[in-house]
Structure 1
């Protein structure tokens, strides 16, 4: 299996990955094809695919913010069972992020991720790919070390239509597992930076950000 970075929508592997995403994720979670051109060229963003026998069988997108000293996993897609795709992507991503932070002269505080809560929203089918089942994903992320940031979370739809997407938690995997909270100001800075690309923010998201600004810290809880 190969771990291959994509940097252009002209790359044939990108078309396969984008189609792959559409077959797995709900429409509001997938950025339109042409809008990927600029993000793929962003040096703060990395998109990799797992290629097996010429086919895209997995993908992951992540970023690292040296000014905040945190990373973010945008998505991880596992398309086939029996190939250890999840571990392959996680280990390669971890190694890349360690080198990325090291090149910036830092050790990352940890990594954010948006995590579906199937105990609140059960209708996500994720293209009927069993490995992507929200119950499975939540437990896998817990095993990896992710914790739930203890506040009601929504995010703007990637369709940029002003809709607030619910049914998720904002998770964080601290490098130091003994960490029990994060500064609320760090979460605000991260979220406002992360969603800069979307111009049409829902009121629920704006209210959430204002609520966070009133806090000193946010607790990390178990998934």
Structure 2
């Protein structure tokens, strides 16, 4: 497999990736095709696909924030079971992020990820790939080192319709194994920056952000 970066919606690989996204994610989690044009041009947003021959068999999007020395895993897509696509993407992504942090003169502090709560979200009726089941994905992320930030999490819908999307936890994987909490200010700064592209924020999200501003730290709990 090859690990190839996509920087334009004109890239034929992007159409294949977007089709794959619509197969594994609910509609409110998928940004419309045309709206990807600007994000893909952003040098801080890194979209890579796993390519086998001419087929896109997996994909991942992530970003590195130089000022905070943290990363965000936007999504990971595994298109086929039993191919080692997940480890290939995870290892390739981590290698790339560590290189970015090294160029920043630092060692990567940690990574955020939105993680489905399988007790709340059930995608089993539409799943074509068992590896993408929320329970499986949550267990994999737990094994990688992700933990759950201790607060009730919602995020604005990527449809930018002002709706709040629930059924997820905000996870964080610290690269210091002794870490048991994260500074609330870092979480607030990250979330407000990450969702700055969406102009129509739901009240539930705004209330959540204000509550986080009143905290000093947020505890990390097992997934």
TM-score band by shorter chain is over 0.9
Q: In structure 2, do the counterparts of structure 1 residues 22 and 189 end up closer, same or farther at CA, with 3 Å as the change threshold?
A: same
Distance 1:178 1:124 in 2: 36
Distance 1:119 1:134 in 2: 9
Partners of 2:123 and 2:133 within 8 A in 1: no
Within 5 Å, which residues of 2 pair with 1:1-223? 1-123=1-123, 125=125, 127-223=127-223
SS of alignment partner, residue 127 of structure 2: helix
Q: In structure 2, do the counterparts of structure 1 residues 125 and 199 end up closer, same or farther at CA, with 3 Å as the change threshold?
A: farther
- In structure 1, list runs of 5 or more residues that go unmatched: none
Distance 2:99 2:9 in 1: 26
1:80: Cα distance to partner?
0.5
1:53: Cα distance to partner?
2.0
TM-score w.r.t. structure 2 length? 0.98
Partners of 2:123 and 2:134 within 8 A in 1: no
- In structure 2, list runs of 5 or more residues that go unmatched: none
TM-score w.r.t. structure 1 length? 0.98
Partners of 1:125 and 1:133 within 8 A in 2: no
Partners of 1:184 and 1:212 within 8 A in 2: yes
Partners of 1:183 and 1:217 within 8 A in 2: yes
Q: Provide the aligned C-alpha RMSD in A.
A: 1.0
SS of alignment partner, residue 31 of structure 2: coil
Q: In structure 2, do the counterparts of structure 1 residues 125 and 156 end up closer, same or farther at CA, with 3 Å as the change threshold?
A: farther
User: Paired residues, what number?
Assistant: 223
1:107: Cα distance to partner?
1.4
